[in-house]
Chains A and B, each alone.
Chain A
Amino acid sequence: MTQETRHDLRFPLFAIAVALAAAVMVVLAVYSALPVAFDQNALILALLVFAAVGSEVLAVLYPKSVFSVSMSFPLGVAVSAYFGPAYGALVGVLLALSVAWPRSARKWDRILFNIGQLILTFTSAGFLFQLLGHLLMASGPTRADGVIAALLVAAVAVTVGVAINTMLVVLGASVLYGQSIGKTLSEGVAAMVPSQLTLGIVGVLMAQVAAAVGAPGLALFVVPLLVARQTYERTVQLRSAYADTIASLVAALEAKDVYTKGHSVRVAKYACATARHLGMPDAKVDRLEWAALLHDIGKVGVSRRVLSKNGKLSDAEYDEIKRHPAIGARILEDVPYLADLVPSIQAHHERLDGSGYGSGAAGSDIPLEARVLAVADAYDAMTSTRPYRTAMRHEAAVEQLQGGRGAQFDGDVVDAFLSAFEDSSLLADGAPE
C-alpha cells in the first residue's frame, strides 16, 4: 500500500468519530460491569495486560503495508472474555498507547483512532460474551451441549470483534491514504482476518484455562505464541530478502554487459509504477516486480555475440533472440514459488496484433502483467544505448509508445505508464546510464 498520506481534515474527523463511539461503549461497559473478585484474579489480569502490551510493542509489520500482526489480539480477547468489556476497553487504551509510545512523533489523530478502534473491538467482543450469557467453565466436568454452546458463543464474539477491527482499520487506512475502500478491504481481509480469527479463538482458550486452572496455566501459552510470532517474522523477512536477492543476482548477470547493466531493475521500477496507476492490487504489483526482474533471464541461453552484435541481425540470429522468453519460462518453471510469473515472462514480447513472439498470444489473451512489462521493457530499451544505436530521448521514446498503441502496446497501459511518469520522479530516478 502506498504510504503517502492525505493532509486534509477527513482523517482527523474520522478519528474523532471513532473515539466518540468508543467513549459511548466505555460508559456502557463501566455501567454494566459485573463484579470481579480480585483476590484471585489480579495476577491473571496483570499477566494478560503485561503480555498484551509487550506483544504490541513487538508487532510484526507487513512489508509495504499499514497492517501488522501482533499477539496482543488474543490477550485482549482473553481479558474481555474473562473480565468483561470494561477491562477490554482498558486493554485497548493501553495497547494504543504502547504502539504510540516508542514513536513520540505519532500524530494525535492516529493515536485517537487507534484508541477508539481497539476499545470498540474489545468491548464489542466482551459485550457479546456477557449478553449471550457465556460463563467460562471453571470447574467440574461439563455436559457436551454446554461445551458446544460455549464454543459457539466464543466463535460469534470473536467473529464480531474481528469484523469490527478489520472494518475500522480498513476504513481508517482508506481515508488516510485516499485508496478505494474495496481495494483496501480486499487487502485487509486477506492480511488480517484469518490470523485474527484464529488468534481470537486462542484468546478464548486462554480465558478458559485461566478460569479452570488459574494463572500458572497461562505460562503454557507463552511458547506457542512466541513461536507463532517468530515464524511469522522470519517468513516476512525471508519474503522481503527474496526480492533483494533476485535483484542482486540478476544485476550480477547483467553486469557482464555494459549495454544491459541495470536494465531489469529499471524495468521493474517502471512496471510497478504503471501497475499502481492501473489500480492493480499490491500483491499483484509485488509479483510483477519479480517478473520484471526476471523477464530477461532467458537471455542466458542466447549467445553473447548475438546479444551484443553491432549491426543488423540475420534471420537465424533473430530467431535465436526470439527463444529467450521460452528459455526464461523453462528456467523458472522449476521453482514452484516463481511458476506464476511464467505466463507474463513468456509473453512479454507479444504484440496486441499477434505479430510478436514468445507464447503465440494476441489481444486480451496476453496477460495484463505481460502488457505492462512490454511497455516498460520497450521504453527502457529505447532510452538505453545499444551496440547498434545511441539512446533515444524521453520524448522520442514516448512518441514511439504512442505510435504503437493498439497494434503493439495496450493503450490503457501506455496511458498508465505516462501518468506514472507525470506523477512521480521516475524519469530522474530511473534513467539508464
Chain B
Amino acid sequence: MNKARWAVLAQCCVATAAIYAAAGPGLVADLQSLDAWILVAALIVAAALLSALSVWLPRGDAVDSSAAIAFMAGAFLTPQLSSLVMAVGWLLGMAVSRRGMDLWRSLEQVSRRALLMAGAYAYLGYAVRAIFGGSFVASAAGTAAARLSTLESGLALKTAMTPGFGSQAAVLTLYLVIGLGGILFVSLDLAIEQLQSSLRLSSPYWSLLLGSVRLRGWMAVAEMSVAALTVLVYPTLGAWGMVIATGMLIIMRRSFVLLRDMQTSYELTIEVLARSMEWSDSARRGHAERVANMVAMAARRIGFSSKRLEDVRYAALFHDVAHMGSDEGSPDSESTSSAVLADVVLLGGALPILRILDSQGHVSESPDEEDVIGAYLVARFSDIDDAVNVGIAPSPQLSNAIGARLYASTRASAERVIREVERLAPGLVTANQLSMDVAL
C-alpha cells in the first residue's frame, strides 16, 4: 500500500475519533421538527448539486464548492449529522454525475469532510461559548447539554440576530466569529486536500499548496462569504436562503469552469500548434512534447509553482521553433525562438527561458534562478531525447554552458536539479556531467 493510501486510512481514523469526541445530542434529537428536516434536505441537495458540478483537475483533485455547504452544515447541525449530510450529498452528486467512484477517493473525500465538521464544531462551539458565555447557549437551547453547533443552537443564531437581542457589538462579534470560522475552515480544507495530492503525486507539499491557493484562493474566500451570508440570513429566509446561496455558488463555479476551460483549450491549442510545427520533420516528430513532459515532471518535483511550470513547459514546447519547418532542418540564422514568440503576450513568461537558450546561457542581464533552471532542464532533456528517441548524437554544449552558469550561481540548487534529471533519465546523466559543465 502506498503512502497516499496510508494517509487516507490515518485521516479516516482521526476523523472518526474527532467526530466521536465531538459527540453532542443524538441524531433523533436533532430531527424533531419539520424545519430541521427541511434544512437537512436542503443541505443534502446543495451538497449533491455542487459535488456533481465539481471540476476535476488534471492532477486528480476535484475543485468543488462543497466546503461552503459543509460550513453551513457545521454551523447548524451536530458534527455527526453534518458529516452524514455531506457524505450522502457527495455520494449522490457522484452518482448523478455518473463519475466512477474509487473506494480510496471516496474514503478520502468523506473523511476529509468529517474532519472538517469536527473542526467547525470545535471552533464554533468553543469560540462562541467563550465570547458569549454559558447563558447564550443555555437561553438558546434550553438544556445544559446543548451545544452551539446543534440544530437548536443554530436556530439560536436567529435569536441573536433579531433586533432587540443583545448589543450591536455582540452581533458584530458573532459576524466576526462566523467570518473567521469560514476562513479557517476553507484553509483547513485546502491544507488537507493538498497533503493528499502531495502524497499521491510525490510533489513538494508547499509548492502544491501555494499553487492551489493562487488558483482557487479568492474563489474559496468568495464561497465562504456566501456560506456566511446564508447563515446570517437564515433567520429571515430559512432554507430558501440556501436556494439563493446554492445558485450563487453554482454560478461562481460555472464562471470558474468557463475560465478553466478557456485556459485548458488555450494550452491544448498551443500544444497542437507546437506539434504541427514538427510534423514535416519525421525524425524529430514529438520531440518538443516529450521534452516538455520530462521538463514539467522534473520542475514539479523541484518545486516550481504552477505558473512557473506553465512557463517552462511552453519554453520546452517552443525551444526549437526557430529551427523547425525547413526540409533540411537547418537552423534559421536570422531568427531565434524568443524572437518568433516575442509578440505572443500569453507566452511572455517563457521568453526569459528561451532567451537564455538562444544566447547559449550568456544573457547580459541577471536572469532569475528559476529561468536558468528551466533553460537547463530544457537543454538537457532535449539532448537526452535526441539520443534516446530521435537517434542522433546529442551536442551537449548548450546544456553544459547553462549548467555551468547554474552551478556558478547556486551550487545547492544545481545539485538538486541534476539529481532530478538523473532520477528521470537514469544512466544518461551523472553527477560527473556537472563537473564537466563547470570545467567547460
State whether B244 touches A252 (Cβ < 8 A).
no
- Decide: A335 near B272, CB < 8 A? Known: A141-B235, A224-B248, A300-B277: yes
- Decide: A335 near B171, CB < 8 A? Known: A202-B248, A208-B236, A244-B343: no
- Decide: A238 near B163, CB < 8 A? Known: A147-B238, A228-B252: no
Query: Is the C-beta of A32 less than 8 angstroms from some C-beta in chain B?
Result: no
Give chain B nearest CB distance to A71 CB in angstroms: 13
Cα–Cα distance between A101 and B228 once the two chains are bound (Å): 36
Checking A140, A201, A246, A256 against B326 with a beta-carbon cut-off of 8 angstroms, the contacting residue is A256
Please indicate the chain A residues that have their CB under 8 angstroms from the CB of B344 in the complex.
244-245, 248-249
Residue of B nearest to A242 (CB): B266
Query: Is the C-beta of B138 less than 8 angstroms from some C-beta in chain A?
Result: no
Query: Is the C-beta of B346 less than 8 angstroms from some C-beta in chain A?
Result: yes
Query: Is the C-beta of B162 less than 8 angstroms from some C-beta in chain A?
Result: yes
Question: How many chain A residues touch the partner (CB < 8 A)?
Answer: 60
- Decide: A238 near B263, CB < 8 A? Known: A216-B172, A253-B325: yes
State whether A212 touches B279 (Cβ < 8 A).
no
State whether B163 touches A139 (Cβ < 8 A).
yes
Query: Is the C-beta of B347 less than 8 angstroms from some C-beta in chain A?
Result: yes
**DSSP majority for the B interface?**
helix
State whether A231 touches B225 (Cβ < 8 A).
no
- Decide: A213 near B280, CB < 8 A? Known: A147-B240, A224-B248, A248-B344: no
Give chain B nearest CB distance to A229 CB in angstroms: 10
Query: Is the C-beta of A162 less than 8 angstroms from some C-beta in chain B?
Result: no
Cα–Cα distance between A254 and B194 once the two chains are bound (Å): 44
State whether A244 touches B225 (Cβ < 8 A).
no
Chain-A contact segment, one of B51-59, B109-117, B214-222: B214-222
Cα–Cα distance between A201 and B341 once the two chains are bound (Å): 45
Residue of B nearest to A307 (CB): B280
Please indicate the chain B residues that have their CB under 8 angstroms from the CB of A75 in the complex.
none
State whether B268 touches A335 (Cβ < 8 A).
yes
Interface hits, A103-127 → B, CB 8 Å: none
Cα–Cα distance between A256 and B334 once the two chains are bound (Å): 11
Please indicate the chain B residues that have their CB under 8 angstroms from the CB of A334 in the complex.
268, 272
State whether A140 touches B276 (Cβ < 8 A).
no
Give chain A nearest CB distance to B176 CB in angstroms: 9
Query: Is the C-beta of A205 less than 8 angstroms from some C-beta in chain B?
Result: yes
Cα–Cα distance between A337 and B267 once the two chains are bound (Å): 11
Checking A147, A228, A241 against B255 with a beta-carbon cut-off of 8 angstroms, the contacting residue is A228
State whether A227 touches B268 (Cβ < 8 A).
no
Question: How many chain B residues touch the partner (CB < 8 A)?
Answer: 62
Please indicate the chain B residues that have their CB under 8 angstroms from the CB of A137 in the complex.
236-237
State whether A300 touches B280 (Cβ < 8 A).
yes
State whether B276 touches A300 (Cβ < 8 A).
yes
Query: Is the C-beta of A239 less than 8 angstroms from some C-beta in chain B?
Result: yes
Cα–Cα distance between A248 and B279 once the two chains are bound (Å): 18
Cα–Cα distance between A216 and B218 once the two chains are bound (Å): 20
Query: Is the C-beta of A338 less than 8 angstroms from some C-beta in chain B?
Result: yes
State whether B232 touches A212 (Cβ < 8 A).
yes
State whether B162 touches A336 (Cβ < 8 A).
no
State whether B175 touches A217 (Cβ < 8 A).
yes
State whether A249 touches B273 (Cβ < 8 A).
yes
- Decide: A337 near B218, CB < 8 A? Known: A142-B236, A142-B237, A212-B236: no
A233-247 interface code vs B (CB 8 A; 1 in, 0 out) = 011001101101110
Please indicate the chain A residues that have their CB under 8 angstroms from the CB of B268 in the complex.
334-337
- Decide: A238 near B346, CB < 8 A? Known: A220-B179, A223-B218, A245-B270: yes
Checking A141, A202, A238, A245 against B262 with a beta-carbon cut-off of 8 angstroms, the contacting residue is A238
- Decide: A227 near B252, CB < 8 A? Known: A141-B238, A212-B236, A253-B325: yes
State whether A221 touches B269 (Cβ < 8 A).
no
- Between A and B, 26 residue pairs with Cβ closer than 8 Å are A137-B236, A138-B236, A139-B236, A140-B235, A140-B236, A141-B158, A141-B235, A144-B238, A144-B240, A202-B248, A205-B233, A209-B233, A220-B228, A227-B252, A235-B262, A242-B266, A245-B270, A245-B344, A246-B273, A248-B341, A248-B343, A249-B273, A304-B280, A334-B272, A336-B268, A338-B265
Inter-chain pairs besides A217-B175, A227-B218, A238-B262, 17 sampled, C-beta below 8 Å = A141-B158, A209-B232, A217-B229, A220-B228, A223-B222, A224-B226, A226-B222, A227-B222, A231-B219, A238-B263, A245-B345, A246-B269, A256-B332, A297-B273, A297-B276, A303-B327, A337-B262
**9 closest Cβ pairs, A-B complex:** A337-B265, A300-B279, A256-B325, A227-B222, A224-B222, A137-B236, A300-B276, A220-B225, A249-B273
Measuring CB to CB, which residues of chain A are less than 8 angstroms from any residue of chain B? Answer: 137-142, 144, 147-148, 151, 198, 201-202, 205, 208-209, 212-213, 216-217, 220-224, 226-228, 230-232, 234-235, 238-239, 241-242, 244-246, 248-250, 252-253, 255-256, 297, 300-301, 303-305, 331-332, 334-338
